[in-house]
């Protein structure tokens, strides 16, 4: 049976300026992958449904739950294959998951 992915949305907090992500609760680790430059939001599907947002320097942030380390490495291969400069990969603390 194919598991249907839950939708992911991102909003910026007006008080803290931090991006808050809303997903259905699950146990998958949540990551932010920062890439130099702006990718269009339609790339979300190609990056396994991760939310596409932007920081104050017009860099792209791909964020969402990632199944395991193998899936994370698969996403990083996609970034590499596109020749995109990788800035950072960070797990997101539970306080940002809503």
Domain of 64 in residue numbering reads as 27-96
Q: Is residue 11 part of a domain?
A: no
What DSSP string runs through 29-77?
A: -EEEEEESS---TTHHHHTTT-EEEE-TTS-EEEEEE--SHHHHHHHHH
For residue 61 the two structure tokens come to 């942030």
Q: Is residue 39 part of a domain?
A: yes
Contact call for residues 85 and 36 (beta carbons, < 8 A): yes
Q: Is residue 42 part of a domain?
A: yes
**At which residue do the structure tokens 């907090």 appear?**
13
- pTM across the whole model: 0.71
Q: What pLDDT is stored for residue 18 in this prediction?
A: 63
Q: Is residue 90 part of a domain?
A: yes
Tens digit of pLDDT at every position of the chain (98 positions): 444 444 444 555 555 556 665 544 578 899 999 999 999 999 999 999 999 999 999 999 999 999 999 999 999 999 999 999 999 999 987 644 44
Please count the structural domains in the chain.
1
Q: What pLDDT is stored for residue 62 in this prediction?
A: 96
Q: What pLDDT is stored for residue 54 in this prediction?
A: 95
Question: DSSP state, 97?
Answer: B
Q: What pLDDT is stored for residue 7 in this prediction?
A: 44
Q: What pLDDT is stored for residue 63 in this prediction?
A: 95
Q: Is residue 4 part of a domain?
A: no
CATH of the domain at 55: 3.30.70
Q: What pLDDT is stored for residue 94 in this prediction?
A: 64
């Amino acid at each position: 049976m194919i598991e249907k992915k839950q939708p992911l949305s991102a909003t910026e907090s007006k008080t803290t300026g931090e991006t808050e992500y809303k997903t259905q609760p699950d146990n998958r680790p949540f990551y932010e992958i920062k890439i130099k430059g702006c990718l269009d939001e339609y790339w979300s599907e190609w990056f396994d449904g991760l939310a596409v947002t932007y920081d104050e320097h017009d860099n792209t942030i791909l964020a969402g739950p990632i199944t395991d380390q193998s899936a994370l490495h698969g996403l990083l291969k996609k970034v590499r294959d596109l020749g995109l400069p990788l800035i950072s990969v960070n797990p997101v603390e539970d306080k940002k998951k809503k």
